[in-house]
Amino acid sequence: MGVARRRLHDTNKSGWWLGVPFLLLLSQWLFVGISGAEGEYLGSRLIFALTGGFCLLFFVVLFVFFCIQSDIGKNDFGEMPSISISPMQRDFLLREERAKSTSMLDNVKMMQKLSELRDKGLLTEEEFQKKKSEWIQKL
């Protein structure tokens, strides 16, 4: 129950979703216990079937909730727990991050070179602004 409640909280659902099927099962067991030997009536069988059907329906709903992706970031129940990823996913994310930082470093270097050329008088202010605008548009 504790793990299921935490999983529901990861998907920003209340833990009370767990209570509905268990309350239905409890009421079903109580009804069967109360009806005892007289439980052969059509009404008791109908109630037993209905509560069982609703329980099954709620367990299917809970299963769907357990399978959906967690909310990213903070939700009503707190911060997202740490995510465990496979080594292949980690390597992919690291390569992607390196590519971003490399391209950012290249952009900074290009702007510095253009600035140096302008400072040395090899580029006019207009040429510098034009080249800078062209470079920014490529991003």
Domain ranges of the chain: 2-67, 87-138
State yes or no: pLDDT of 100 exceeds 70.
no
**pLDDT, tens only, 104-115:** 667 778 888 888
pLDDT of residue 49: 81
Q: How far apart are CA 53 and CA 51, in angstroms?
A: 5
Cα–Cα distance measured from residue 101 to residue 93, given in angstroms and rounded to the nearest whole number: 12
Over the stretch 12-63, which tens digit does the pLDDT of each residue have? 788 788 888 888 888 877 777 766 655 566 667 777 788 888 888 988 988 8
Rounded Cα–Cα distance for residues 45 and 70 (Å): 40
